[in-house]
Amino acid sequence: MRAHILTITLNPTVDYATTTPEVTAGLKLRCSEPQIDPGGGGINVSRAIRQLGGQSTALVAIGGATGAHLLQLLALEGVATVAFQGPGETRQSVSVSEDTTNEQFRFVMPGPSWGEDDVPRALTTVDQATGDGTLVVLSGSQPPGVAKDFPSILASHVAGRGANLIVDTSGPALSTLAEEPREAIHVLRMDGEEGEELAGAAHPTARDTADFAEALVARGVATHVIIARGADGSVLSNAQGSWHAVGAPVKVVSKVGAGDSFVGAFTLALAREWPIERCLQFGVAAAAAAVTTEATRLCDRETTERLMENCRVTPL
């Protein structure tokens, strides 16, 4: 029986992606018609799950006219939503690609600042949408004003309702989660650079990455720790061991959305109760599929399933 999947996005965005011949200071840059997509970590995870043939519910903080536009975009994509009122106006972000060089320039706004009453309201909404066996995914940046220990607070709420928490975050929130573990979360994912920064050392090999991931598991940070290694795939560690999954080489068009596609595929595979190695394999294949698409297109089911056939999983 499939578990219900709930993704959480506290700092969503409406993403505009466009192109221009050349980015030059001081001039009016004539751009192409923009591609407009709903964005933010948890939202992109839900979009990826939808494109892979699964279902989830996206819990989203919204505000103002941009927030209303965001809900319309999610409805058009067939993503079920639970919206709650966040502070201020939902942010917008812009990415501009140069036609001449294919270089991409990404302009990401911080989002509205949260007050002391906003986090309890968000947690109440999470409690109402979470039940026994729910896979809860916290992904993406936190808004200004949200305490860095929010993932730990959320972990306690989720555990109290018999649910499992999957976290893909960065910066101070990740550091706090890794260095001051309270309630062990189910899955913690991070990029390789973040893992090296936390460890204070380089991880040139997959075994190095696994050693650090295993140490986090042993300290009670998470049941499963996943660390991405870019083109060298991802490493997953738990109490039973470590595995390294590497996909077939693909032509990289845009790296945007690769991490969210991984998390979406991995979570969907968990909900389907696949073996953990196969969950890792599905996630790596989805990330590889995502980098072959433009801007915010994420992964697609056909490409992901095809790439999965050539995704190698090795015990470490």
Which residues are catalytically annotated? 260
The 91-98 sheet, strands edge to edge: 35-39, 13-20, 91-98, 104-108
* 123 vs 121: CA distance, rounded Å: 5
* 221 vs 206: CA distance, rounded Å: 20
* 268 vs 55: CA distance, rounded Å: 8
Which ranges of the chain does DSSP label H, i.e. alpha helix?
A: 41-51, 64-76, 118-129, 150-160, 171-179, 192-199, 206-218, 258-271, 276-291, 301-308
Q: Please, which residues have CB within 8 angstroms of residue 158's CB and are 6 or more apart in sequence? A: 126, 130, 134, 136, 164, 165
> Cβ(87)–Cβ(144) under 8 Å?
no
Q: Quickly list DSSP for 258-269.
A: HHHHHHHHHHHH
CB atoms within 10 A of CB 38: 28
CB atoms within 10 A of CB 223: 15
